[in-house]
Amino acid sequence: MSQLIQAVLNSDEKTDLRQFASEVHNQPERYLLRNDILSVFDTFCEKYEKTPAFQLSSRLQKLIYYTQEILVEDENLYLIIRPKIASEEAYRLDPRELVYEQIQIDELLDLRDRFVGHYHPQEGDILEIDFRPFYDYSPVIRDPKNIGRGVQYLNRYLSSKMFEGPQQWLFSLFSFLKLHSYNGTQLLINQRIQSPEHLSECVKQAISLVGGLPPEQPYPEFRFNFQELGFEPGWGNTAARVLETLEMLDELIDSPDDQVLEAFISRIPMIFKIVLVSIHGYFGQEGVLGRPDTGGQVVYVLDQAKSLEKQLQEDLQFAGLDTLEVQPKLIILSRLIPNSEGTLCNQRLEKVHATDNVWILRVPFRELNPKYTQNWISRFEIWPYLETYAIDAERELLAEFRGLPDLIVGNYTDGNLVAFLLSRRLGVTQCNVAHALEKSKYLFSNLYWQDLEEQYHFSMQFTADLIAMNAANFIVTSTYQEIAGRPDTIGQYESYRSFTMPDLYHVVYGAELFSPKFNVVPPGVNESVYFPFTRHQERTPGDIDRLEELLFTLEDPEHVFGHLDNPGKPPLFSMARLDRIKNLTGLAECFGQHPQLQDHYNLILVAGKLRTSDSVDHEEINEIERLYRIIDQYNLHGKIRWLGVRFPKQDSGEIYRVVADHKGIFVQPALFEAFGLTVLEAMISGLPTFATRFGGPLEIIRDGIDGFYINPTHNEEIATKLLEFAKECATNPDYWQQISEQAIERVYTTYTWKIHTSRLLSLAKIYGFWNYTSREKREDMLRYIETIFYLLYKPMAKKLLAKHMDS
pLDDT of residue 157: 86
Three-state DSSP class for residue 742:
helix
Mean pLDDT computed over every residue of the chain: 93
- Residue 497 is classified by DSSP as S
Q: Rounded to an integer, what distance in angstroms lies between the CA atom of residue 189 and that of residue 231?
A: 4
CA–CA distances in Å: residue 160 to residues 139, 156, 259: 12, 6, 12
Which residue(s) pair with 32 in the sheet?
A: 70
User: Is the distance from CB of 712 to CB of 586 less than 8 angstroms?
Assistant: yes
Q: Rounded to an integer, what distance in angstroms lies between the CA atom of residue 214 and that of residue 223?
A: 14
Closest C-alpha among 371, 330, 345 to residue 289? 345
Domain locations along the chain: 2-103, 155-178+189-231+235-267, 273-524+756-806, 536-751
CA–CA distances in Å: residue 797 to residues 333, 373, 391, 451, 464: 22, 15, 16, 18, 11
Torsion angle, CA of 788/407/397/313, rounded to 10 degrees? 160
Q: Rounded to an integer, what distance in angstroms lies between the CA atom of residue 8 and that of residue 98?
A: 10
- Residue 127 is classified by DSSP as P
Q: What is the pLDDT of residues 88-136, one digit of tens each?
A: 999 999 999 999 999 999 999 999 999 999 999 888 889 999 999 999 8
Closest C-alpha among 789, 713, 784, 773 to residue 162? 773
Q: Hey, do 273-524+756-806 and 536-751 end up sharing a CATH topology, with the first three levels equal?
A: yes
Q: What is the CATH number of domain 536-751?
A: 3.40.50.2000
Q: 677-685 and 649-661 helices cross at what angle (nearest 10)?
A: 50
CA–CA distances in Å: residue 147 to residues 326, 477, 489, 491, 764: 37, 11, 15, 12, 18
Any idea which fold 273-524+756-806 has? Rossmann fold (3.40.50)
Measured CA angle at 33 (ends 31, 34), to 5 deg:
150
Q: What is the pLDDT of residues 44-67, one digit of tens each?
A: 999 999 999 999 999 999 999 999
Mention every residue, 6+ apart, whose C-beta is less than 8 A from residue 308. Answer: 274, 330, 757, 760, 761
pLDDT of residue 16: 94
State the Rg of the chain over Cα.
28
pLDDT of residue 743: 96
Mention every residue, 6+ apart, whose C-beta is less than 8 A from residue 675. Answer: 296, 435, 478, 479, 482, 522, 523, 695, 696, 700
Sheet holding 128-130, edge to edge: 128-130, 505-509, 499-501
Closest C-alpha among 414, 431, 441, 415 to residue 674? 441
Q: Rounded to an integer, what distance in angstroms lies between the CA atom of residue 242 and that of residue 252?
A: 15
pLDDT of residue 1: 52
pLDDT of residue 257: 85
As a residue count, the chain comes to 807
Any idea which fold 2-103 has? Nuclear Transport Factor 2; Chain: A, (3.10.450)
DSSP H stretches of helix in 145-231: 150-164, 166-178, 196-211, 223-228
Give buried/exposed letters for 422-444 (b at 16+ CB in 10 A, else e): bbbebebbbbbbbbbbbbbbbee
Which residue(s) pair with 561 in the sheet?
A: 642
Which residue(s) pair with 477 in the sheet?
A: 520
Which pTM does this prediction carry? 0.86
Which residue(s) pair with 92 in the sheet?
A: 78, 101
Give buried/exposed letters for 280-289 (b at 16+ CB in 10 A, else e): bbbbbbebbb
365 dihedral zone (left: phi>0; alpha: psi -120 to 50; beta)? beta
Q: Rounded to an integer, what distance in angstroms lies between the CA atom of residue 578 and that of residue 740?
A: 27
pLDDT beneath 70: ranges in the chain: 1, 775-777
Q: How would you class 395 by CB atoms within 10 Å of its CB: exposed for 0-12, middle for 13-18, buried for 19 or more?
A: exposed
Q: What is the pLDDT of residues 739-757, one digit of tens each?
A: 999 999 999 988 989 989 9
Describe the chain by its helix, strand, coil percentages, rounded to 5.
Answer: 50, 15, 35
Any idea which fold 155-178+189-231+235-267 has? Four Helix Bundle (Hemerythrin (Met), subunit A) (1.20.120)
The alpha carbon of 98 is separated from its chain's Cα centroid by a whole number of angstroms, namely 43
Give the count of beta carbons closer than 10 Å to the beta carbon of residue 237.
Answer: 20
Phi, then psi, of 527 in degrees rounded to 5: -75, -15
